[in-house]
Structure 1
Amino acid sequence: MGEVIGLLKVTVVQGKRLVVRDFKSSDPYVIVKLGNQTLKTKVINSCLNPVWNEEFTFSVTEPVGVLNLEVFDRDRFKSDDKMGRAHLNIQPIASAARLRRVLHVSDGETMIRKVVPANDNCLVRESSVNCVDGDIVQDVWLRLCEVESGEIELKIKWVDHPSVARPQAPLV
């Protein structure tokens, strides 16, 4: 595993139109993976449009990987049911962070790049990577694969690792 180049703060905001896996509803939770790091949201009982608003922090190393999500329905007496999966290439946000350092963008809001739905992501619609007051952020809606319906909203924020942060004036 390579050197840490930054942190990725991922907020799992909400799900929409998730599939029914129990009698009339589901008890969904999301597993989020980046490399060998795995984190899990809380379970929202009996809900097909859950709101989690849970933030997770992942270390990002070179080569920059893919953020993977799996949604499950929690069951008490049998194994949990799959409710879909999605993935997002995080190279665009990592590249935007490098570009921000080169261009010294820090004030206001600047769109750095657009990301369109493609084979290397599960985007529902075009998304933009923005620099907002020095922070690199991206809001995305991901379509769940291998399932009849369902989308997950994420808010992603890049945090530079101290070793790659902008140089500061030396102390005297």
Structure 2
Amino acid sequence: MASPKARCCSGGRCGSGKGGGGGDNLLGHLKVKIKRGLSLAVRDITDSDPYVVIKMGDQKQKTRVVNKDVNPVWDEDLTLSVEDANLPIKLTVYDHDMLSKDDPMGDAEFEIKSFVDALKLPRLERHPNGTVLKRIPPVRTNYLAEESCIIWKDKEVVQQLSLRLRNVETGEVDIELRWIHDPPTTM
């Protein structure tokens, strides 16, 4: 049987230590779907070859490179082990370069505390499909391009986020959060 650390990290790297997914304080696993980028910055002559890296504590996951596209569609699921819901997740977009260091194309941070708190609401299964559990307005400190709703959808808590990138002239990244309900392990 694969260890929880190995199970959560297929397709990427997990670290250890704070937020690393190897400790006894594991709350669960968060699936971060990197959906698409919008109006990303041009870093090559006429376009960019973007990919996304997410980091939480010592964990790091990345998407594939989409060649020659400033409006890329990744539609990729990345999984993080969550030990501390107060730890922010940093998302950075890079332009892949063959001959030099990859160029940063902006970054954003988002918190998951409200999402994790929504998972703890009583009798979630009694809510009708599409029920909004919490609304998070865009403010200067949360990088949201528009209001983000945490909803009960198809018997899951789901959050859609459209993140405005900082440290760059233009760009947004759309993501979706879902909680992975791991089956209980038997001893």
Determine if the TM-score, normalized by the shorter chain, exceeds 0.5.
Answer: yes
Task: Give the deviation of 1:119 after TM superposition.
Answer: 4.4
List structure 1 runs of 4+ shifted beyond 6 angstroms: none
> How far, CA to CA, are the matches of 1:9 and 1:140 in structure 2?
13
Distance in 2 between residues matched to 1:127 and 1:7, nearest whole Å: 21
User: How big is the shift at 1:86?
Assistant: 0.7
Q: How does 1:1-172 map to 2 (within 5 A)?
A: 1=18, 3-99=25-121, 102-106=122-126, 108-160=129-181
Q: CA deviation at 1:57?
A: 1.1
Aligned AA (1:77):
L
Q: CA deviation at 1:104?
A: 3.9
- The answer to whether the 8 Å contact 1:5/1:160 transfers is no
Amino acid at match of 1:32: I
Pairs aligned (count): 161
Percent of aligned positions with the same letter in both sequences?
Answer: 37
CA distance in 1, matches of 2:31, 2:85: 18
User: What residue ranges of structure 1 are gaps of 5+ in the alignment?
Assistant: 164-172
Q: Which has the higher contact order (CA 8 A, sep 6+)?
A: 1
> What root-mean-square deviation, in Å, do the aligned CA atoms of Structure 1 and Structure 2 show?
1.7
| C-alpha distance in 2 between matches for 1:10 and 1:86 | 14
Report the Cα distance in structure 2 between the residues aligned to 1:120 and 1:96, rounded to whole angstroms.
21
2:85–2:113: 8 Å Cα contact kept in structure 1? no
Query: 1:27–1:103: structure 2 CA closer, same or farther, 3 Å change rule?
Result: same
Unaligned runs of 5+ in 2: 1-17
